[in-house]
Amino acid sequence: MSGWIDFEKFGLEGLTLNNYRNYSKNSECYDIVVKINSILDISNGWEVSYPLIEQFKKSKEFPSLYAKFQTLLSNKPSGADESEIANKKKEIKGENNKRAVVSVLGLYNKGKSYVLSRILGLKLLSSFFEHTEGLSILLSRADVTEVLIGLDTKGSQKPVKNCDEAKMKDSEATERFLQTLSLNLSDIVLIVVDRLTRDDQLYIKQIKQTFRNKENIIIVHNLSHVKLNKDLEKVIKEEIVDCFDCKVKQLKDSAPYWYENDRTRHVVMACDDKDSESKIYSEAGAKMNQPTIELLQSWLKTAASTSLERFNLVDNITKFSNKVISNYLNQKVEVVLNTEETLIKTNQDPCIPCEELKYADIRFNLVGLISENPNTSLSRVSEDQDHYYVSLECYGYEIEDLDIKIEIVNSTKKIIIKSDLQRKIENRKYTNTIRDEFKTTHTRPLEWSFEFPILINEQDASDIKEFDLTNGLLHLTLTKKKVNNSSKLQKK
């Protein structure tokens, strides 16, 4: 199956296909929902549902078998019509189109679903999007962005009901797993913030350290409570220009945007709703929102035109889950998708008793798992009490191709690993394997950096004693600088 959804499996063939596309543009349903409310539920399986297809098949727009048969008898398609239908089927299955996957991330209750629905051309019913369940997927329904697929996850730091230590860990692990999954499936990442906080800034920084292509990270400042233009200008100055050292840019007949030195982009949206007292629309929203949405659609469509990915989305979610889920658990498990594509679960013999699934001794940052194993490539940087461990995908390079530098930045140090050479690898046009982060940059030179929160001893690359490049993975061990507390007290 090469498409995003196997539509033939659901009986959406021929004449029904156009009906489905027309129906979808006026629906508020997600196309696919993978119900991952807890990683531990994998024992019984994560349910995969197709809400829009089920809703469509119950609607009057879905022709009965008799109606379809009568239509074919009375108006048999010509050769040209049959060719058009075949092309439509290929189009919706992703065989003709280059498509891009955009994920919408951010902390809890920042308006992620609202932003995604506006970009993808949905008529929003806000009550429908109050709680996003697991990983929710939208195939774009706006004509200008039919090349997009949207991934929507429940936000980070969502409160836990009747919380205890086990429930808190389960909630945190599941949120981090969903974010890691989204980042590894995505071509473009939108990070939605409202009024900027330190947690937002830390979250953005950690996303940048995980998702290498900074040009495809867009920060959406969804200022849902800002109605006046003068207030909007003040927030932009304080929370974008000053906090991110941004410069403004505006194309002709387009919304303004702000960009950082690393080419990360920022856009702004304001309140859309009527003021309950004055009964007037938000002047800031009227000025900024629609032009900003059109600018985002333009960027995402451009990104999609360069994408070569064609894969079954649910199958890829399964493959990636199988690759990383054991890092979270007390045992190794194999994850499979059933033939109906309705359940993702462990592949275990029901007759053989197995150990109850529990979480391993793991730690997290705001974005994902911090691995205790320095040999894993899941996280680029992990640490223990005395060391930092850097793991970086350098497939296609030899050790002598890499330029490794350590620089002093503010009161700490930064490691930079780069190469001006291109990777010595085969560049396949099509692939059905899970997306990895270097695949989208085959033709680009390597450049990666990380700023250490705690000072390290190493002054330059010659001081690094433990490093190797094996099977495309570069591993470095760096030593944390010991702080003499007694000398600090004496200075005070």
- Give me the residues paired with residue 344 across strands: 46, 337
Q: What is the pLDDT of residue 2?
A: 35
Work out the angle at residue 189's Cα, subtended by the Cα atoms of residues 207 and 214, and round it to the nearest 5 degrees: 60
Amino acid at 305: S
Topology of the domain comprising 371-486: Immunoglobulin-like (2.60.40)
Structure tokens at 221: 């400042």
Name residue 395's amino acid.
Answer: Y
Place of tokens 């053989």: 352
Please write the tens of the pLDDT for every residue from 163-213.
Answer: 678 888 888 888 888 888 888 888 889 999 999 998 899 889 888 877 767
Answer yes or no: are the C-beta atoms of 301 and 243 closer than 8 Å: no
Mean pLDDT of the 25-48 span = 87
264 has a pLDDT exceeding 70: yes
Return mean pLDDT, the chain.
75
Lowest mean pLDDT among 347-361, 371-385, 436-450: 371-385
Residues in a beta bridge with 363? 370
pLDDT tens track for 216-239:
899 999 998 899 999 999 999 999
What is the mean pLDDT of the segment spanning 71-80?
Answer: 50
Which of 259-270 are b and which e, b meaning 16 or more Cβ less than 10 Å from the residue's Cβ? ebeeebbbbbbb
What average pLDDT does the segment 435-439 reach? 37
Q: What angle do CA 189, 416, 422 make, to 5 degrees?
A: 75
Using a 10 angstrom Cβ sphere, with 0-12 exposed, 13-18 middle and 19 or more buried, the burial of residue 403 is middle
Task: Parse the chain into domains and list their residue ranges.
Answer: 371-486
Task: Give tens-digit pLDDT for 108-141.
Answer: 778 887 887 788 776 544 433 444 567 888 776 6
Whether the CB-CB separation of 139 and 4 falls below 8 Å is answered with yes
* DSSP line for 415-472: EEEEESSPP-S---S---SPP-TTGGGTTSPEEEEEE-SS-BS--SGGG--EEEEETT
pLDDT confidence tier of residue 59, bands split at 50, 70 and 90:
confident
Confidence of residue 379 (pLDDT cuts 50, 70, 90): very low
Contact 151, 339 (CB under 8 A): no
pLDDT at 71 over 90: no
pLDDT at 208: 84
Q: How many CB atoms lie within 10 A of CB 295?
A: 19
137: nearest Cα among 149, 125, 154: 149
Token pair recorded at residue 313 = 């989305």
Average pLDDT of span 366-384? 56
pLDDT category of residue 335 using cuts at 50, 70 and 90: very high
The answer to whether residues 220 and 189 touch, using CB atoms and an 8 Å cutoff, is no
Q: Rounded to whole angstroms, how far apart are CA atoms 401 and 397?
A: 6
CA-to-CA distance for 383 and 408, rounded, in angstroms?
20
Which helix (H) or strand (E) covers residue 198, if one does?
A: helix 198-210
Q: What is the percent of the chain with per-residue pLDDT over 90, rounded to a whole number? A: 21
User: So what's the pLDDT on residue 377?
Assistant: 37
Q: What does pTM read for this prediction? A: 0.68
- pLDDT band of residue 405 (cuts 50, 70, 90) is very high
Can you give the pLDDT at residue 344? Answer: 95
- Taking residues 10-32, what's their average pLDDT? 74
Neighbours of 456 (CB within 10 A): 19
50 vs 134: which has the higher pLDDT: 50
pLDDT of residue 244 exceeding 80, the answer is yes
Stretch 291-310: mean pLDDT: 77
**pLDDT of the residue at 299:** 86
Backbone angles phi and psi of 453, in degrees to 5: -65, -30
Lowest mean pLDDT: which of 57-71, 294-308, 348-362, 381-395?
57-71
Least confident of 12-16, 171-175, 378-382: 378-382
Q: Which positions ≥6 away from 45 have C-beta within 8 Å?
A: 343, 344, 345, 346
Q: What is the mean pLDDT of residues 318-335?
A: 87
**Contact (Cβ atoms closer than 8 angstroms) between residue 266 and residue 295:** no
Cα–Cα distance measured from residue 78 to residue 57, given in angstroms and rounded to the nearest whole number: 27
* Residue 121, pLDDT score: 72
Q: Average pLDDT, stretch 412-436?
A: 64
Least Cα distance to 202 among 2, 365, 348 occurs for 365
- Mean pLDDT for 13-22 is 71
Q: Which of 43-47, 407-411, 472-476 has the lowest mean pLDDT?
A: 472-476
